Copies of this chain bind each other. A is one copy, B any other.
Amino acid sequence: MDDRIYQHAETLVDWSARIERGDDVVMTVAEGAHDLATATAEVLGERGANLVTLYQSGEIGRAYLTGHDGKFDTDSEHELALYENADSVLILGGEWNTAAMADVPGERQSAYSRSRQAIREARMDTDWVSTVHPTRALAQQAGMSLPAYEDFVYDAVLRDWESLAGEMAQLKSILDDSSEVRIVADGTDLTMSIEGRTAVNSAASVEYDSHNLPSGEVFTAPEATAGHVTFDVPMTIRGQRVRDVRLEFEGGEVVDYSAAMGESVIGEVLDTDDGAKRLGELGVGMNRGIDRPTDSILFDEKMAETVHLALGRAYDSCLPEGESGNDSAVHVDLITNMDDGSRFEVDGEVVQRDGKFRWEDGF
């Protein structure tokens, strides 16, 4: 077995999930994640954790949802009991076919999702971490060969997380003490307020309230956005390709939009509810192991020299106690490059220029 798989498992168990002896762990294994699951099981055994292994398959999910009449029971007791009694949940992604559910009607999927709210909350109440094992399907989605995609995934996952967490703490500290962010780049000049908001140092560990491996972003919850922004990182949203989305904001709300591709899906997102027209997240990608977009939000939004903004729901962890922030049924991330000619300003001071932070060589 590729030694990096074992290192991935150790990073997941020790750095990300902080598993200790006696922890009741649920490990959810996608169809193509068998090898990572085997390595993770060995590490969990070494740490003395107790293991239940679930199987996550788009094909099985599709078969179940297709067979069902759509009148789902609410929060089945056996699954709820499993998560209510779990300390940690490790989600090992890695499908065989990222389009396996493509012919399940969206309404059926939504109804199933709505029937599982307490199960989902019980799972989110654990020390959960989501990661992926490189499969052919994910390599294909990224437009890469499997060996090249494996290199890409391990470059992103096998970081010096302690060191990156330290670097990200500097940006968090700057944002926490400030009132306004301005982003200037090709096709972008946008300002927003972050007054009173708290940034999250998302360092791929439950210790940092960060639940993705890889991670490597600092994010907060902006408001009162004004100006225009162009998102030049290609994406797929709801199965549709989206390119060069341009949004114009006044008084915190989108007042105009266009896109070179996928304009209609952006329109659908904006029409969801009032909150979908406002930003729920400003995130700064800082993972230098991620050097290109791969059409996977888990990786793309953490890419160094990018900024992402999400239309819709804000995260509670960024808000003052008792404040609810922007609310919406959606949270859709859009990403823009911060390379040559770009500036990230906080309260009028340049924090990042041409992709380099002010504490980096070459700033």
- Is A26 on the interface with B (CB-CB < 8 A)? yes
**Chain B, Cβ-Cβ closest to A96:** B34
Q: Does A297 contact B (CB under 8 A)?
A: no
Cα–Cα, bound, A67→B29 (Å):
19
Copies in the complex: 2
**Could you tell me which residues of chain A, from 138 to 181, have a CB within 8 Å of some CB in chain B?**
none
* A57, B79: Cβ atoms closer than 8 Å: no
A37–B55 touching, CB < 8 Å: yes
For A, the interface residue count at a CB cutoff of 8 angstroms equals 48
Say yes or no for A232: interface residue by CB 8 A criterion: no
Choose one: B26, B67, B78, B86; the contact of A85 (CB below 8 Å): B78
Q: Which residue of B lies closest to A86 (CB)?
A: B78
The listed residue (B50, B57, B83) touching A76 by CB distance below 8 A is B50
- Complex contact A42–B63 (CB within 8 A): yes
Provide 14 A-B residue pairs closer than 8 Å at the C-beta atoms, listed in order of the A residue: A24-B79, A37-B60, A39-B63, A41-B61, A42-B64, A44-B67, A45-B63, A46-B67, A46-B68, A52-B78, A53-B57, A55-B55, A78-B81, A79-B82
Having A46-B67, A80-B85, one finds 13 other A-B pairs with CB under 8 Å, namely A24-B78, A24-B79, A34-B59, A37-B55, A38-B57, A41-B61, A48-B68, A48-B73, A52-B76, A54-B54, A55-B55, A78-B85, A81-B84
